Amino acid sequence: MKRLLKILYHYLNSTRKHQQTDLLLLGTLLSRQNKQLPVLDSLGPAEFKVFSQAGDDGIIQYLINKIDIRTKTFIEFGVEDYVESNTRFLLRNDNWSGLVIDGSSRAIDYIRADDIFYRYDLKTLQAFITAENINELIASQGMRGETGLLSIDIDGNDYWVWKALDVVQPVIVIVEYNSVFGPERPVTVPYQPGFTRSAAHYSHLYFGASLAALCQLAEEKGYAFVGSNTYGNNAYFVRKERVGPLKIFSVAEGYVESRFRESRDRKGRLNFLSGAGRLASLRGLPVFNTSTGQTEAL
């Protein structure tokens, strides 16, 4: 039985590598086409997926070919095993270097055992990210000043971590927003250093910040909002002095409502809420209004 399991493991691992090679080849071809795109009225037509959760690989390729990026480095938080991520295609297709951070030691061990770790200039760090430690974590890896791209997806304190971050100045920032909070109110979950999405509320829908809150923070930090992916979870920001020909969006213009039906009931079972039903399940929970500086009920 052990021998059979070992053979099966090697077969699945080999199959996965072949699939990644095929995906990478397809992505390379799509990337070449992407370079020929004119300036778009939305990010949707640029989308394609190789390693990203949605079409973010294509959006990133579009952006790096439309704006001036002098430092080909990235930082990404919340990567899990890094098989699905926003920066893996940048690493493999464009030969960027970067740093990935995740709170799971098992995930980081997986990345370090992956061929990608020795074939490319990739740093890994296992840490639970907070607003208090983010600058020290990045600086400890020798990264300061301008970097090409920052991707934040930690399902919780995303707003607060970006607000605190000042040790690097990314040209492009990708931040996950919580579409369930809607397009109008600038709100985020109140800051708790140990915040985890699964423990915060049984629905798993109470996390992160609204797009309006992130756009407000972007303005404070000198960034322009250049759109969202069509999946309705990632917002894209570019430093104003580098935005070039890209179209700048208002929150109303760039907001995309997600179609995720990942909500859970009190027993932890998926209950597939959609639309307004998702927000209704969170009514009364506290959120921090980034305009007023006050905590209020959702």
Please list the pLDDT of the chain residue by residue as tens digits (298 residues).
Answer: 335 434 333 444 445 555 666 778 888 889 999 989 999 999 999 999 999 999 999 999 999 999 999 999 999 999 999 999 999 999 999 999 999 999 999 999 999 999 999 999 999 999 999 999 999 999 999 999 999 999 999 999 999 999 999 999 999 999 999 999 999 999 999 999 999 999 999 999 999 999 999 999 999 999 999 999 999 999 999 999 999 999 999 999 999 999 999 999 999 999 999 999 999 999 999 999 999 999 999 9
Residue 14: both structure tokens together:
């080999």
Provide the residue ranges of all domains of the chain, joining segments of one domain with +.
Answer: 2-297
Ramachandran angles phi, psi of 231, nearest 5°: -75, -20
CATH architecture of 2-297: 3-Layer(aba) Sandwich (3.40)
The pLDDT assigned to 21 comes to 65
Structure confidence at residue 7 (pLDDT): 38
Q: What is the pLDDT of residue 86?
A: 97
Provide the b/e sequence for 183-215 (b: ≥16 CB within 10 Å). Answer: bebbbbbebeeebebeebbebbbbbbbbbbbbb
Give the count of beta carbons closer than 10 Å to the beta carbon of residue 29. Answer: 11
Model pTM?
Answer: 0.92
Instruction: Check residue 11 and give its pLDDT.
Output: 40
In this prediction, residue 19 carries a pLDDT of 60
**Predicted local distance difference test score (pLDDT) of residue 26:** 84
- Phi first, then psi: give them for residue 173, nearest 5 degrees: -125, 130
In this structure, the number of other CB atoms found within 10 A of the CB of residue 121 comes to 13
The single-letter DSSP state of residue 140 is T
- Give pLDDT, residue 23: 77
CA atoms of 44 and 27, how far apart (whole Å): 16
Q: What pLDDT shows up at residue 5?
A: 35
Side chain identity at residue 154, one-letter code = I
Q: Quick one: angle between helices 56-64 and 2-34, nearest 10?
A: 40
